[in-house]
């Protein structure tokens, strides 16, 4: 594991957002959804691809708050441009469990 400094960590913008739209992503190499996440008035709605189909349905994701990295440069993933990274934890089988706030938060709230 590489060690980072506190200054490195402070540069990562982790924000709370609410999933407002979910679509299947049939062109993805591994099963995935396309998520539209509302990060509040400052950042707006951002798009991301997430390989979370094992534990989540589209219906269960709508309205769910998630934690996303919002200051990575956009990344082309197949036909979509991902504008944020939704965070989660890998299980031993490779499936992902989302990292979420345990209480409702205002969209755009920053991890601090």
Q: What are the tens digits of pLDDT across the range 2-39?
A: 999 999 999 999 999 999 999 999 999 899 999 999 99
Per-residue three-class SS string for 73-96: CCEEECCEEECCEECEEECCCCCE
Please state the pTM of the whole predicted model.
Answer: 0.94
Q: What are residue 30's DSSP bridge partners?
A: none
Are 80 and 59 in contact by the 8 Å Cβ rule? The answer is: no
The domain ranges of the chain are: 18-98
**Topology, domain 18-98:** OB fold (Dihydrolipoamide Acetyltransferase, E2P) (2.40.50)
Q: What are the tens digits of pLDDT across the range 37-89?
A: 999 999 999 999 999 999 999 999 999 999 999 999 999 998 999 999 999 99
- What are the C-alpha distances in Å from 36 to residues 9, 21, 94? 25, 5, 23
54: number of CA atoms within 13 Å, CB side?
12
């Amino acid at each position: 594991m590489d060690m980072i400094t506190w200054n490195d960590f402070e540069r990562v913008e982790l924000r709370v957002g609410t999933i407002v739209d979910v679509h299947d992503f049939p062109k993805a190499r591994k099963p995935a959804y396309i998520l539209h996440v509302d990060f509040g008035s400052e950042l707006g709605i951002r798009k991301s691809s997430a390989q979370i189909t094992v534990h989540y349905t589209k219906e269960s994701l709508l309205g769910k708050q998630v934690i996303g990295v919002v200051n990575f440069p956009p990344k082309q993933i197949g036909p979509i441009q991902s504008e944020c990274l939704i965070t989660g934890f890998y299980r031993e089988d490779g499936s992902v469990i989302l990292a979420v706030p345990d209480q409702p938060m205002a969209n755009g709230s920053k991890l601090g």
